[in-house]
Amino acid sequence: MAKEKEIKKPASMQGGDAGKGHHYDASDISVLEGLDPVRRRPGMYIGTTGIDGLHHLIWEIFDNSRDEAMGGFCNDIEIVLLPGNRIRVADNGRGIPVDIHKKTKVSALETVMTTLHAGGKFGGEGYKVSGGLHGVGASVVNALSVYCKAEVHKDGGKYMQEYSQGKKKTSVKKVGSSKLNGTIITFEPDEEIFKDIKFDWNTVVAHIRQQAYLVKGLKILIIDARGYEDKIDDSDVFYFRELNLELPSTSFYFEGGLTSLVKYYNKLQKPIQNSIFYVEKEMDDVGVEIALQYVDDIVDRIIPFANNIYTAEGGTHVTGFKTALTRTLNTYCKKNEMMKESEGGFTGDDVLEGLTCVISVKLREIQFEGQTKAKLGSVEAQSAVATIFGEAFASFLEENPDQAKAIINKSILALKARKAAKAAKDSVLRKGALEGMTLPGKLADCQSKSAEESELFLVEGDSAGGSAKQGRDRRTQAILPLRGKILNVERARIDKMLASKEVRALVIAMGTSIGDTFDLSKMRYHKIIIATDADVDGAHIRTLLLTLFYRYFRQVVDAGFIYIAQPPLYKIKKGKEVNYAYSDEEKVKLIGKETDVTEIQEAEGPEPVEGLAEEDEEKETKARSNKVHIQRYKGLGEMNPEELWETTMDPAHRILKKVNIEDAEEANKVFEILMGSEVPPRKSFIQSNAKLAEIDI
């Protein structure tokens, strides 16, 4: 038995007089001044220092310009992605004030850029409605940038101040005259804060497109000037486009507002109501704007905004909407005797099925939960949305009986499907319980009971399953072979899904249950690894599995438990040396440029001929040692257990791709296109992206 080590407590933790050697007084309290708290704890202000936090810097500066537009002071915003990781945002708003602030005794511009909780959004008449909750947007971006410059055109003058890591480099100074009004902010994120600085064009465009729909009559131009260093010359221009350079760009301008946004989200869907419902009204200083349309689908899309900020986690405005929607449809259905009493009434899930809805509320005093503003907390929004929407939607149903009937029938179908799905699910779970929750017979489970270290490999067919079972680490690796292609669950409810043996086996193996009884804490494996063949069928099976996880086990994906294995494409043998190549580029690199193409073979060459002269035998041996033998793997079943372990399953050498969802709405759209029932959108997608495909002929 190992001898235990005696651990002595530090003097400061011991009782009596032992801690008298260290005094704990005011000198031990750290006070962070200026913007130091932001640099010390950036996650508190932008959520993360990863890729999302990096883009959040753009949103903070853009929000300030957009707030000017919401107040009617601005109608033109330009965003430029510059070389050297710099971002430039210009607007034709009123311009940040530059006169001396009475309290700080410095220019208001300097105050806004270098002081937390300073801005025109705290009382006063600067903004009636704004998205910048805490007034920390510009100062936080400044604090987290190695370089930042503010330019203001106002009252006939042009003013400028530069900063680094939140500290001013010069005082605010007038650098010229100007007939324009507006603000230009240029910043470069600090590599000390952000380890991977790479702005994504598609992410920026998707976010700004959304914002353009929300502010009627606002023109927004996005320019990608990266890679054009030789052409860049922004000397004394207000808008970058004034340079007349032919650069990649995207512009947005919408007059339709939320109705246009609903049309955009539903462009790949089949509507079941002819017109889009729309209401815009104010109640108790809360502006409410809602547009919705039902489509022939089984998923819902609720896109909520508060002061034009996308609240991904919902909040009080969404709660008020859902309550009013369920109540209004139940009332209408009962009044018109459209449902049997035995069927009960609609639940929230029933009336949400197939719904696309955009909710936008505007409040003067707004409260979010957290600095990143992902969830609205203002209680007055709930009652305002419920009242305004409830009354307007009830009138819409009365005035449009045909559309009301279509919506009610859609909800009744969802209600019946919900009950059927619940019966099917309960049957599966009840059967499992009677059998002691017996795991699928074809599952080769691992020995470990710790989910944190356990892995489940989903492999294609019995052949790959056999190799994987023999080559695995039995302690931590489980194998579940899948026979054929699983059900496409894109438009399938739980009852049909659980009728599939392959899907049911996977659900039981995971241990989380499904639907309203799903429990992530019961997950039996913290790595589910999709290991399919490197061919068209393998890619299809992989897509079907990803669709299943995205639609019915989204929390598993969000938790980071889904991975895709990367088996090698080639086994390359030169003499006694064996290497594996995971791509054609890697194959070329391993073979070497000097290798004669005639020496590349798909199989082992003949053995040396006996009876050769010693000199000839030596030449033959040398020639064979220089030859390269390549084996192309078409599937995991072609590998023996040792090869499969060494290349695909051994944690020390394998390559895994972690599945994550950077843009849920874009992911949703892609799944609809690829796995939905509409052929034209899928055909268009394939034609548009054909050149990006890696084709194995």
Mean pLDDT of 202-228: 91
Would you state the pLDDT for residue 248? 93
Mean pLDDT of 142-156: 95
Residues 374 and 518: their CA atoms lie apart, in Å, by 24
Q: What is the DSSP letter of 664?
A: H
User: Is pLDDT of 207 > 80?
Assistant: yes
User: Is pLDDT of 1 > 50?
Assistant: no
Residues 18 and 10: their CA atoms lie apart, in Å, by 9
Q: Determine which one of 162, 296, 313, 537 is catalytic.
A: 537
Residues 686 and 406: their CA atoms lie apart, in Å, by 33
**pLDDT classification of 504: cutoffs 50, 70, 90:** confident
Residues 697 and 695: their CA atoms lie apart, in Å, by 6
Alpha helices in 27-185 (DSSP H): 36-40, 43-46, 51-70, 108-114, 137-143
User: With the C-alpha atoms ordered 314, 319, 320, 325, is the resulting torsion angle positive or negative?
Assistant: positive
In degrees, rounded to 5, the angle at the alpha carbon of residue 197 between the alpha carbons of residues 192 and 200 is 160
Q: What is the pLDDT of residues 422-481, one digit of tens each?
A: 776 666 555 543 344 467 888 999 999 999 999 999 998 888 889 899 999 999 999 999
**Per-domain residue ranges for the chain?**
37-252, 258-420, 439-567+658-664, 581-632
**pLDDT classification of 121: cutoffs 50, 70, 90:** very low
What dotted CATH number matches 37-252?
3.30.565.10
Q: Determine which one of 60, 67, 445, 533 is catalytic.
A: 533
Mean pLDDT of 603-616: 47
Answer for the pair 467, 644: CB distance below 8 angstroms, yes or no. Answer: yes
**Could you confirm whether 91 is annotated as catalytic?**
no
Residues 557 and 658: their CA atoms lie apart, in Å, by 9
Would you state the pLDDT for residue 678? 60
Those residues whose C-beta lies under 8 Å from the C-beta of residue 161, and which sit 6 or more positions away, are: 107, 109, 110, 113, 149, 150, 168, 169, 170, 171, 172, 173
Residues 187 and 171: their CA atoms lie apart, in Å, by 17
According to CATH, the topology of domain 258-420 is Ribosomal Protein S5; domain 2 (3.30.230)
The beta-strand segments (E) located in 295-436 are 301-306, 309-310, 355-363
User: Is pLDDT of 590 > 60?
Assistant: yes
**pLDDT classification of 15: cutoffs 50, 70, 90:** very low
Q: Cα Rg for the chain, rounded, in angstroms?
A: 31
Q: Which residues face 657 on adjacent strands?
A: 564
Per residue, the 3-state secondary structure of 546-592, as one string, reads HHHHHHHCHHHHHCCCEEEECCCCEEEEECCEEEEECCHHHHHHHHC
Q: 546: which 2 tokens?
A: 């990803």
| Closest CA relative to residue 651, chosen from 524, 532, 563, 542 | 563
Mean pLDDT of 618-623: 54
Q: Determine which one of 535, 584, 650, 666 is catalytic.
A: 535
According to CATH, the topology of domain 439-567+658-664 is Rossmann fold (3.40.50)
Q: What is the DSSP letter of 370?
A: S
Return the percentage of the chain with pLDDT > 90, whole number: 44
User: Is pLDDT of 607 > 60?
Assistant: no
Answer for the pair 90, 182: CB distance below 8 angstroms, yes or no. Answer: yes
Q: What is the pLDDT of residues 239-293, one digit of tens each?
A: 999 988 889 999 999 888 899 899 988 988 889 998 999 999 999 999 999 999 9
Would you state the pLDDT for residue 682? 59
Average pLDDT, the chain: 82
Mean pLDDT of 611-622: 54
User: Is pLDDT of 369 > 70?
Assistant: yes
Determine how many CB atoms are found less than 10 A away from the CB of residue 185. 26
Q: What is the pLDDT of residues 39-53, one digit of tens each?
A: 888 888 888 888 989
| Closest CA relative to residue 270, chosen from 406, 414, 415 | 406
Answer for the pair 548, 642: CB distance below 8 angstroms, yes or no. Answer: no
Taking the C-alpha atoms of 130, 134, 138 and 143 in order, what is their torsion angle to the nearest 10 degrees? -170
Return the percentage of the chain with pLDDT > 70, whole number: 79
Residues 425 and 209: their CA atoms lie apart, in Å, by 40
Which amino acid, residue 114? T
Would you state the pLDDT for residue 686? 60
CA distances from 527 to 20, 223, 286, 570, 638 (A): 51, 40, 46, 26, 24
| Closest CA relative to residue 494, chosen from 349, 285, 677 | 349
Q: Determine which one of 68, 350, 460, 643 is catalytic.
A: 460
- Strands 527-531 and 562-565 come out as parallel
Q: 174: which 2 tokens?
A: 């007038």
Residues 132 and 181: their CA atoms lie apart, in Å, by 21
**Could you confirm whether 495 is annotated as catalytic?**
no
* Helix, strand, coil abundance in the chain, percent, nearest 5: 40, 20, 40
Q: 340: which 2 tokens?
A: 């049997």
Would you state the pLDDT for residue 669? 60
Would you state the pLDDT for residue 26? 43
Would you state the pLDDT for residue 133? 37
Those residues whose C-beta lies under 8 Å from the C-beta of residue 438, and which sit 6 or more positions away, are: 432
User: With the C-alpha atoms ordered 430, 436, 439, 440, is the resulting torsion angle positive or negative?
Assistant: negative
**Could you confirm whether 533 is annotated as catalytic?**
yes
Residues 189 and 350: their CA atoms lie apart, in Å, by 46
Q: Which helix (H) or strand (E) holds 689?
A: helix 679-689
pLDDT higher at 330 or 268: 330
Would you state the pLDDT for residue 189? 96
Residues 273 and 386: their CA atoms lie apart, in Å, by 22
Would you state the pLDDT for residue 606? 41
Would you state the pLDDT for residue 636? 83
Q: 322: which 2 tokens?
A: 């859902």
pLDDT higher at 184 or 597: 184
Top-ranked range on mean pLDDT: pick from 19-23, 179-183, 335-339: 179-183
Per residue, the 3-state secondary structure of 318-330, as one string, reads HHHHHHHHHHHHH
**pLDDT classification of 417: cutoffs 50, 70, 90:** confident
Query: How far is C-alpha 565 from the geometric centre of its chain's CA atoms?
Result: 21
Mean pLDDT of 471-499: 85
Answer for the pair 359, 304: CB distance below 8 angstroms, yes or no. Answer: yes
| Closest CA relative to residue 695, chosen from 575, 532, 584 | 584
**pLDDT classification of 298: cutoffs 50, 70, 90:** confident
Q: 372: which 2 tokens?
A: 């990143």
Would you state the pLDDT for residue 625? 57
Q: What is the DSSP letter of 9?
A: P
Answer for the pair 60, 138: CB distance below 8 angstroms, yes or no. Answer: yes
Q: What is the pLDDT of residues 517-562, one digit of tens each?
A: 889 999 999 999 999 887 778 888 888 898 889 888 989 999 999 9
pLDDT higher at 414 or 428: 414
Determine how many CB atoms are found less than 10 A away from the CB of residue 678. 13
**pLDDT classification of 323: cutoffs 50, 70, 90:** very high
| Closest CA relative to residue 306, chosen from 237, 375, 239 | 375
Would you state the pLDDT for residue 600? 47
Q: What is the pLDDT of residues 645-662, one digit of tens each?
A: 999 999 998 989 998 876
**Could you confirm whether 230 is annotated as catalytic?**
no
Name which of 14-18, 317-321, 378-382, 519-523 the model is least confident about.
14-18
Query: For 104, how many CA atoms within 13 A lie in the half-sphere containing its CB?
Result: 19
Please classify residue 246 by burial: count the beta carbons closer than 10 Å to its beta carbon, then call 0-12 exposed, 13-18 middle and 19+ buried: exposed
Would you state the pLDDT for residue 432? 46
Residues 384 and 123: their CA atoms lie apart, in Å, by 22
Residues 186 and 326: their CA atoms lie apart, in Å, by 47
